[in-house]
Amino acid sequence: MPGLYNRYVRISSERGDRTGPSGVLTSVYRYPIKSCRGHPMPVAVVEPWGLAGDRRWMVVDETGEAITARQQPRLVLIRPETTERGLLLHAPGTTPLSVRPPAGESLPVSVFSNPLSGMLADRPAHAWFSELLGVPARLVYLADPTQRRPSPDYSQPTDRVMFADGYPLLLTTEESLAALNTLVLAQPDSDGKPLPMARFRPNLVVSGAPAWTEDFWRRLRIGDAAFRAVKACPRCVLTTVDPETAARGKEPLRTLAQHRRWAGKTWFGMNLIPDTPGATVRVGDPVEILESATVSEPAR
């Protein structure tokens, strides 16, 4: 891979301790609207830009810039339900709202300074989000998912991503979460409650490999779907928002900063780019590591 990647890893395609069968896919999650609640799926189609239907919608401000749960934690309380007609939106204290994919006015929008074009939903959706968040907001749909490329340092020219922060999919492991929770619960002021995986908003959750082994993975197959593991995921303040209450706390960033801090950031999970568009992933699929790396830090 180009850019920073080669500074930190040495690829090995030889089978060894870090290649070969490495567990099973235990969960698949889709997030229809960026920063809103996701839902589990037994099976999902892998498109070139991510799971079908994942982060195809986004809430923006009056300038078209993404509004995320970093600024508006209440977004995590919104539960988008995918229907044949589009979405049915649920949130505490509100009347559910049906939203259809728009087919009219487009709007220049931006995800972390990456410009692209979204299509405006109907006005009732804008009013619904504005009232819930207490700020002017609009809902947009990405009709053309081919507009945006992941970082050139970690992707190929044909790779694409939708409204996700940076890459098409995020993978985490149950063992790494368990290891992190052991550290979190050992904090002197711990409330005794382990963090749920929902804090990290993964698309794919794997079990069966030692904690933090995903740091080494560079190519893997899940069922019939192949992926490049291109970059570890730096974690932000969104992970400190309780997905059930929208309240902010210290964890997991405090503990990650003590144990998994490199280059001024904290790391949990691995970003993936699909290599077999059209393949499906199913809960229960075997996970096979095709290439691993000799590395002392997560790829960044």
DSSP label at 196? P
- The closest of 281, 203, 277 to 47, measured between CA atoms, is 277
The residue with tokens 């801090």 is 261
- 149-169 in b/e form (b: 16+ CB < 10 A) is ebbeebbeeebbbbbbbbbbb
- What pLDDT is attached to residue 273? 98
* pTM given for the model: 0.92
CA distance 75 to 91: 9
CATH for 1-54+146-300, options being 3.30.70.3150, 2.60.40.10, 1.10.3720.10, 2.40.33.20: 2.40.33.20
Neighbours of 10 (CB within 10 A): 8
Domain ranges of the chain: 1-54+146-300, 57-144
- The closest of 68, 56, 61, 32 to 126, measured between CA atoms, is 61
- What pLDDT is attached to residue 162? 97
- 44-74 in b/e form (b: 16+ CB < 10 A) is bebbbbbbebbbbbbbbbeebebbbbeebbb
**What are the angstrom distances between the C-alpha of 215 and each of 30, 86, 154, 279?**
23, 37, 15, 24
CA distance 135 to 68: 12
E-strand stretches of the chain: 10-12, 20-30, 39-40, 43-47, 50-51, 57-60, 79-83, 86-90, 97-99, 106-111, 114-120, 138-141, 169-173, 204-207, 217-222, 225-235, 261-262, 265-274, 280-282, 286-294
**Torsion 279-282-286-291 (CA) sign:** positive
pLDDT tens digits, the chain, 300 residues: what are they?
333 233 333 333 333 356 667 899 999 999 999 999 999 999 999 999 999 999 999 999 999 999 999 999 999 999 999 998 899 999 999 999 999 988 878 999 999 889 999 999 999 999 999 999 999 999 999 999 999 999 999 999 999 999 999 999 999 999 999 999 999 999 999 999 999 999 999 999 999 999 999 999 999 999 999 999 999 999 999 999 999 999 999 999 999 999 999 999 999 999 999 999 999 999 999 999 999 998 778 888
What are the φ/ψ torsions at residue 169 (nearest 5 degrees)?
A: -140, 155
